[in-house]
Amino acid sequence: FTEWRPYFHHVVAHVDGKYAPIPFNLNTIEDLFPRRMAEAMTQALIDTYGYGAKVPILRMREEGAEQLRYLADYIYKKVFENYTFKQWSLKPEELNPSVSARVPIHISRDNRYFQDVYQAMPVDGYSAMFARILAHENISVATSTEFEAVRGLYPGARIVFTGPIDEYFRFEHGALPYRSLRFRLFERPEAEAQPVGTVNYPNEFDFTRITEFKHLTGQKADGTILIEEYPEAYVPGRNEPYYPVPTEDTAAALVPYQDMANTLKGKIWFAGRLGDYAYYNMDQACGRALALFEKQLAVA
């Protein structure tokens, strides 16, 4: 369906007036602290966790050796606390620890956002890739169509539902919360507006980050296109649900829906961020789809 373009995503955060690599790593320390201090912190991190380790901020704050306490509090305050509050309207410790652990402190000098062996972008973009996937005689697509409007049309059909699981069950056990985003797309006349694909602004502005697409696509052009991300609550009918909200409360509220889903086994399958109410990355969402097909649909 597509050729691939090798791409390693890079992120910097604007902290104390400087732009420094995220995930927070040994280079970030060097960029933000005086040399002697940076050397001492680096040595302490390597002694405590070992070179190459990935340490979630909430863990570092709790068990960090005394000399790392200052650093852990600094990273929490300057990188995680305000960004997380903008993104979720919650504090990092109110969310499942896996959320802030998605971006652990990396005891290394690897500035890449991800360390997966295979990292790439579709050469012609995702739209072209999906257009090719969907161009099959057995596939028809209906956009701007509510599931409610078609749910009765295919009695006996096997259905994979990737919308919000609470919506499928008509909110019988209450509505689950989702976070949404408002995107502001804008153009700049210069060839390049920022040094890497994404710049995070944990402590300033109402948006969390700005992404400049030509870094991801490899496009050459005189101008450049960027997007600001403004997090907001999901309001049905007004915006789109993008993220489940992983907390203790939502984990409990999800259980009755999962029980209902289990009673439909063999007829309806739920998948994706919204269907599973799980904070999947794109590779995990694809892995989930493949496993669902191979282990369940293909044998059902």
Task: Give the interface with ligand UDP as residue ranges (CB under 6 A).
Answer: 13, 22, 79-80, 83-84, 87, 99-100, 102-103, 200, 202
Measured between alpha carbons, how far is 163 from 142 in angstroms, rounded to an integer? 14
Please state the closest distance from residue 100 (CB atom) to ligand UDP, in A.
5
68: exposed, middle or buried (C-beta count within 10 Å: 0-12, 13-18, 19+)?
buried
> Which residue, 13 or 107, is less far from ligand UDP as judged by CB?
13
Please state the closest distance from residue 62 (CB atom) to ligand UDP, in A.
17
- CA-to-CA dists, residue 280 to 11, 65, 82, 237, 286, angstroms: 20, 32, 23, 24, 9
- CA-to-CA dists, residue 144 to 26, 27, 100, 147, 148, angstroms: 48, 47, 34, 10, 12
Measured between alpha carbons, how far is 182 from 289 in angstroms, rounded to an integer? 27
Q: What does the angle CA 225 – CA 228 – CA 199 come to, to the nearest 5 degrees?
A: 85
- CA-to-CA dists, residue 51 to 12, 55, 108, 109, 240, angstroms: 21, 11, 6, 9, 41
> Which residue, 80 or 178, is less far from ligand UDP as judged by CB?
80
> Which residue, 93 or 192, is less far from ligand UDP as judged by CB?
93
Please state the closest distance from residue 42 (CB atom) to ligand UDP, in A.
20
Please state the closest distance from residue 200 (CB atom) to ligand UDP, in A.
4
201 with 208: CB under 8 angstroms? Answer: yes
160 with 290: CB under 8 angstroms? Answer: no
> Which residue, 103 or 165, is less far from ligand UDP as judged by CB?
103
Closest alpha carbon to 1 in 89, 125, 112:
125
Closest alpha carbon to 68 in 93, 46, 99:
46
Please state the closest distance from residue 118 (CB atom) to ligand UDP, in A.
18
* Dihedral angle sign, alpha carbons of residues 89, 94, 97, 103: positive
Please state the closest distance from residue 13 (CB atom) to ligand UDP, in A.
5
> Which residue, 177 or 256, is less far from ligand UDP as judged by CB?
177
Please state the closest distance from residue 280 (CB atom) to ligand UDP, in A.
9
> Which residue, 38 or 273, is less far from ligand UDP as judged by CB?
273
> Which residue, 212 or 269, is less far from ligand UDP as judged by CB?
212
Please state the closest distance from residue 229 (CB atom) to ligand UDP, in A.
8
43 with 125: CB under 8 angstroms? Answer: no
> Which residue, 103 or 261, is less far from ligand UDP as judged by CB?
103
